[in-house]
Amino acid sequence: MSFRDSNVIIIETGRTVIRAGLGLHDLLKPPSVEISARVGLRKSVFTNGAEANGKTNISEDPLASTSRASSLPQNGQRNAAVKDYLVGVQLDEVLATESDIAISWPFADGDIRDWTQAEALWKYVLFNQLQRRRVQNESPVLLTLPPGLSRDSHERICQIFFERFNVAGFSILERPVGQIYAANSLSGVVIDIGHEKTDITPIYDGFIVHSARTSTSVGTRDCVNYLAHLLRSNQSVMAAISPPEAPLEPNAIHSTLVELVDQVWKDGHVKVPSDGETAAAEDEGVTDIAAVIVAGKERALIESGMKKKATAKASAAEQARLREREAQDLLPVKFKGLEFDLGKERHRFCEPLFDPTLLRGKTTGDATLRSTAEMSLPLQTAVGHAVAQTEVDQRQYIWSGGLFVTGDITRHVKGIGIALQSRLAPFIVNPELQTDVQPRSMRVLNVPEYFPEYRDTGNGFAAFLGASIVAKITFNDSGGKNFVSKADYTSMGPRSVIEMAPTLL
């Protein structure tokens, strides 16, 4: 059997975010739903002694390795039901007025810490955000999950979606596979930069090399804290946010600087220099109009032309001032009613990814995060070691397949892949070892331009795009060999999901 594209649901489950969308279109669209992958529980709901004293039972995954374990909180309560948890907008509203809320991140370890919390999140997405009805649920679901979950976990997830959500069909896709598919490749290394972790996954011929997967304890949060620390040395910034006549407390200064950094990098004002990179001169030649139209950049071209004309008409003094500002790479910033300039230090935002030791001794109010991050390997070293753990005859195909850097950070900060590529050269160039399996090239992958709805999202929505591509093929298969139907589940039960997943057999 096959399903109508308009009924297909994609749910992307990451460590700290869940994205979802209803319907597959001719032009695949980005997710319509995005929520934090966290739940809240009122401590006062329970009356036992521990809860009355404001304590919660910590539930940790004993199988999680040190590199994968998260510092995000996990508060487990055995007696809690799905309906007891606050999720999404409801949780945000309660947190704004109440403090007696225990927050949990059930997917933060790259596994599932608490099944009731996971079910509460998926239920909220399906029935609250996507407005599905359990009684007459005609929607099949393709769910993306972190790689490496056990067969028992897959079976339990399948059971939840059929017995609790009454889905019409079900399929599971590991996130890195969807991400590499979105880049139009079957082999390569997926580097997924998250909030506090960076996951590195070598993929060969469409299959994850699980023995080579690794994680580093540095993520976007460390980059934000690092640049916030650097901005303390910027006198114009400090004078604006904490003037001598009304100075802020040290903790308030850091919180304000973090808000400023968040605004700057999310507005796309950060570049990532490569090793030995020189600034490229602006192209003054003939414009390829066809390429501009295909890329959907007509408006940017017009605005650029108008800017050049305005600059040409400016006075000599004004042009000299503009050239000086450009040479200093000054960025005028408007922040909380204040106006000041930021300099080139903003481009150091991603430095902790490539050199975690820079975090050592930085005052951010989070000593645990710093001590964990500074012991982490540099990103280029972690990637090189991960590929080195694969089979010798696979490595050249993984390297030549390409580097695919993804994560929310890539929606706003460009050039991380190129910067990483420049630092990985020592891992693939070995003049003393010239063999048939020696890699000879390495490319950087990106979401292709022919996905027009994803042109402005960088690689950040790659997992959702890849899942949409797979879902379009999976649920249009009349043979039904790539997903679990209700008939399959009725006859085989939860184990049916194992039969449909070659990697689990």
Contact 192, 175 (CB under 8 A): yes
CA distance 351 to 313: 39
Mean pLDDT for the chain?
Answer: 84
Res. 290 pLDDT band, cuts 50 70 90 = low
pLDDT of residue 443 exceeding 80? yes
Q: Looking at the predicted structure, is the pLDDT value of residue 279 above 90? A: no
Encoded amino acid at 409, one letter:
I
- Tell me, what's the pLDDT at 321? 62
Q: Supply 132's token pair.
A: 């599905």
Summarised one tens digit per residue, pLDDT across range 301-337 is 677 677 666 666 666 666 666 665 566 678 889 998 9
454: burial class by Cβ within 10 Å (0-12, 13-18, 19+)? Answer: buried
What pLDDT, on the 0 to 100 scale, is given for residue 98?
A: 84
Condensed to tens digits (0 to 9), the pLDDT of residues 27-86 reads 899 999 999 999 999 877 654 434 444 444 434 333 333 445 788 888 877 788 999 999
Predicted pLDDT of residue 432 = 59
Write out the E strands in 235-278: none
Mean pLDDT confidence for 399-411: 95
Which residue type, as a one-letter code, is found at position 114?
D
pLDDT score, position 58: 37
- pTM greater than 0.75 (yes/no): yes
Mean pLDDT of 177-195: 96
Distance CA 2, CA 164 (A): 22
The whole-number average pLDDT for the span 189-213 is 96
What pLDDT, on the 0 to 100 scale, is given for residue 262? 96
Which range (52-61, 67-76, 177-186, 343-352) has the least confidence?
Answer: 52-61
pLDDT tens for 205-259 read 999 999 999 999 999 999 999 999 999 998 889 999 999 998 899 889 999 999 9
> What does the pLDDT read at residue 293?
58
Residue 172 has pLDDT above 90, yes or no: yes
The lowest-confidence range among 62-76, 111-125, 345-359, 450-464 is 62-76
pLDDT at 352: 95
Does residue 282 register a pLDDT over 60?
Answer: no
Nearest residue to 191 (alpha-carbon basis) of 491, 389, 2, 462: 462
Predicted confidence at residue 311, as pLDDT, reads: 61
More confident residue, 2 or 80: 80
Token pair of 448, please?
A: 């292709």
Given a contact cutoff of 8 angstroms between Cβ atoms, the answer to whether 74 and 111 are in contact is: no
The DSSP bridge partners found for residue 9 are 22, 141
Model pLDDT for residues 87-107, shown as the tens digit of each residue: 999 999 999 888 889 999 999
First to last CA, the chain: 23
pLDDT above 70 (res 131): yes
Confidence bin at 151 (pLDDT 50/70/90): very high
Q: Quote the pLDDT of residue 70.
A: 80
Average pLDDT of the segment spanning 19-29: 91
Percent of the chain clearing pLDDT 70 (strictly above): 79
Q: Is the pLDDT of residue 133 over 60?
A: yes
CA separation for the pair 116, 63 (Å, rounded): 19
DSSP string, 19-48: EEEE---SS----SEEEES-EEEEGGG--S
C-alpha span between 463 and 410 (Å, rounded):
13
In the chain, the amino acid numbered 329 is D
pLDDT on residue 301: 65
Predicted local confidence at residue 306, as pLDDT: 72
Instruction: Report the pLDDT value the prediction gives residue 63, as an integer from 0 to 100.
Output: 35
Q: Which of 214-228, 261-275, 432-446 has the lowest mean pLDDT?
A: 432-446
Read off the pLDDT of each residue in 445-461 and give the average, rounded to a whole number.
Answer: 93
In the prediction, which pLDDT does 428 show? 78
Domains, in order of start, for the chain: 5-183+452-504 (3.30.420.40), 188-217+376-428 (3.30.420.40), 221-277+290-359 (no CATH)
Are 209 and 186 spatial neighbours (Cβ–Cβ below 8 Å)?
no
Q: By the 8 A CB rule, do 287 and 301 touch? A: yes
pLDDT of residue 59: 41
What pLDDT, in 10s, does the model give residues 76-88?
777 889 999 999 9
Handedness of CA 165, 497, 139, 36 (dihedral sign): positive
Lowest mean pLDDT among 27-36, 45-54, 380-389, 472-481: 45-54
Tell me what percent of the residues of the chain surpass a pLDDT of 90.
60
Which amino acid does the sequence have at 106? P
CB atoms within 10 A of CB 43: 19
Residue 345 has pLDDT above 50, yes or no: yes
pLDDT of residue 426: 83
